[in-house]
Amino acid sequence: MSDFSEIGRLVMAAGGIVSLDARAVQASVTVVSTAGPADLARPTPCGDWTLGQLLAHMAVQHDGFAAAAAGNGADLSVWRAQPPAADPVAEYAAAADRALRAFAADGVLTRDFALPEIGPGATFPAGMAISFHLVDYVAHGWDAARTLGLDYKLEPDLLAVALAIAEAVPDDQARLRPGAAFAPRVTASEGASQLDRIVALLGRRPDWQPLP
């Protein structure tokens, strides 16, 4: 189990949480950009969602976190899924850009982020909130890549931070609730890669394969 001092050390060594998060998000955008209309109905490793449903979730989460960075995260409406976009791939890239610009704004790291999906009135220091966003998009980038049958490569320093964060996510009864952010942990194989360990800690099966 990682502690927060160790996570902080890894984050600082890798250039800071905003930079790390941007790298994770940009990797997900690169993967998603390869999807075509026919791919949107494909099943994903993320619960029962199709790729189209996953992209809609990923986009609205970007917008929720962008609102939280601007001080408006307590408004639950900013976290609600929108009607399907005409071009879900382009909308995903646009939402990712909105989140990255919000996180890069002056003074963001001095703020608290309201994250009401975690619980009523829940707020977190900016750095911690952005770490939640980072690990979510490492996992969702893997979801999209695996759905599309693509390799997904992230730099070792980014993976080390994401692994430490994933280890710190409680594996408790909350993961069994409807709409939980993560399913219960699964066991990764002996000698599993850092990325496989991350997705296993977040409730994915590392050996999940797409439909032929």
Q: What is the domain-level CATH number for residue 8?
A: 1.20.120.450
Which domain range does residue 55 map to? 4-154
Whether residue 112 has pLDDT greater than 70: yes
**Amino acid at site 119:** G
Token digits of residue 108? 């963001």
DSSP codes, 30-70: HHHTT--GGGGGSB-SSTT-BHHHHHHHHHHHHHHHHHHHT
Residues β-bridged to residue 43? 50
For residue 181, tell me if it sits in a domain.
Answer: no
Q: Tell me the C-alpha distance between 34 and 54, whole Å.
A: 15
For residue 190, tell me if it sits in a domain.
Answer: no
For residue 173, tell me if it sits in a domain.
Answer: no
For residue 127, tell me if it sits in a domain.
Answer: yes
For residue 40, tell me if it sits in a domain.
Answer: yes
Token digits of residue 142? 């893997």
Residues β-bridged to residue 107? none
What pLDDT is stored for residue 174 in this prediction? 80
For residue 197, tell me if it sits in a domain.
Answer: no
Residues 6+ away with beta carbon under 8 Å from 197:
163, 166, 188, 206
What's the total number of domains in the chain? 1
pTM score, two decimals? Answer: 0.92
**pLDDT per residue over 28-64, tens digit each?**
999 999 999 999 999 999 988 999 999 999 999 999 9
For residue 211, tell me if it sits in a domain.
Answer: no
**pLDDT per residue over 50-108, tens digit each?**
999 999 999 999 999 999 999 999 999 999 988 888 999 999 999 999 999 999 999 99
For residue 39, tell me if it sits in a domain.
Answer: yes
